[in-house]
Structure 1
Amino acid sequence: MKKRIVAYKPLPDDVMAWLREHAEVVEVDAARHDAFVAALKEADGAIGASVKITPAMLEGATKLKVLSTISVGFDNFDVADLTRRGIVLANTPDVLTESTADTVFALILASARRVVELADFVKAGQWQRSIGAEHYGVDVQGKTLGIVGLGRIGGAVARRAALGFNMRVLYTNRSPNEHAEKTFGARRVQLAELLAQSDFVCLQVPLTKETHHLIGAAELKAMKKSAILINASRGQTVDEAALIDALKAGTIHGAGLDVFEREPVAADSPLLSMNNVVALPHIGSATHETRHAMARCAAENLVAALDGSLASNIVNREVLKP
Structure 2
Amino acid sequence: MNHTSTRDVVSFIDNDHVLNLAMALLQGRDATTVRAFEDFLRPERLDVDLVFDTPPLDGVDLVGPPTTYGDVGNPPPNTTVLVVRRTPVTAELMAGLPLLRHVQKLGDQADTVDLAWAAANGVTVECVPRPSLEATAEHTVLLMLALVHGLRAADRAARTPSDTGGTEPGYNWAGLADLGTLQGRTVGLIGLGEVGVRVARRLCALGVHVHYWSRARRSPEVERQLGVTWRDRNQLLAESDLISLHVPGTPANRALVDGDFLRRMRPDAFLVNVARGSLIDEAALIRALRERHIRGAALDVHAKEPRPPADPMLAMEDVILTPHIAGGLRSHALAEVRTVAQGVIRSLNSVREGRP
Normalising by structure 1, what TM-score?
A: 0.70
Equivalent residue, structure 1, for 2:353: none
Matched, 1:299 2:323: no
Equivalent residue, structure 1, for 2:175: 132
AA at the equivalent of 1:170: H
Per-residue CA distance 1:14-58 (angstroms, 9 max, x = gap): 98445433237xxxxxxxxxxxxxxxxxxx8xxxxxxxxxxxxxx
Larger Rg: 2
Aligned in 2, Cα 1:220/1:14: closer, same or farther, shift over 3 Å?
closer
AA at the equivalent of 2:269: A
Matched-pair contact (CA < 8 Å) for 1:256–1:279: yes
Aligned length: 263
Which ranges in structure 2 are unaligned for 5 or more consecutive residues? 1-25, 86-105, 108-129, 166-172, 350-356
**Equivalent of residue 143 in structure 2, options 81, 95, 107:** 107
Matched-pair contact (CA < 8 Å) for 1:142–1:168: yes
Aligned in 2, Cα 1:75/1:123: closer, same or farther, shift over 3 Å?
farther
C-alpha distance in structure 2 between counterparts of 1:128 and 1:194, whole Å = 47
Matched, 1:196 2:228: no
C-alpha distance in structure 2 between counterparts of 1:193 and 1:99, whole Å = 29
Aligned in 2, Cα 1:227/1:79: closer, same or farther, shift over 3 Å?
closer
Matched, 1:243 2:267: no
Equivalent residue, structure 2, for 1:65: 62
| Local SS of the residue matching 1:170 | strand
Aligned in 2, Cα 1:169/1:180: closer, same or farther, shift over 3 Å?
farther
C-alpha distance in structure 2 between counterparts of 1:233 and 1:75, whole Å = 21
**Equivalent of residue 157 in structure 1, options 190, 194, 199:** 199
| Local SS of the residue matching 1:146 | strand
Percent identical pairs in the alignment equals 25
**Equivalent of residue 277 in structure 1, options 319, 323, 331:** 319
Equivalent residue, structure 1, for 2:183: 141
Which ranges in structure 1 are unaligned for 5 or more consecutive residues? 25-43, 45-62, 68-73, 311-322
| Local SS of the residue matching 1:201 | strand
Matched-pair contact (CA < 8 Å) for 1:109–1:140: yes
C-alpha distance in structure 2 between counterparts of 1:247 and 1:237, whole Å = 17
Matched, 1:170 2:211: yes
Equivalent residue, structure 2, for 1:212: 254
Matched-pair contact (CA < 8 Å) for 1:230–1:255: yes
Matched-pair contact (CA < 8 Å) for 1:142–1:167: yes
AA at the equivalent of 2:328: A
After superposition, the CA RMSD in angstroms is 3.6
Aligned in 2, Cα 1:112/1:261: closer, same or farther, shift over 3 Å?
same
C-alpha distance in structure 1 between counterparts of 2:316 and 2:164, whole Å = 23
Matched-pair contact (CA < 8 Å) for 2:28–2:52: no
AA at the equivalent of 1:189: R
AA at the equivalent of 1:155: V
C-alpha distance in structure 2 between counterparts of 1:118 and 1:19, whole Å = 43
C-alpha distance in structure 2 between counterparts of 1:19 and 1:66, whole Å = 22
TM-fit CA distance, 1:242: 0.2
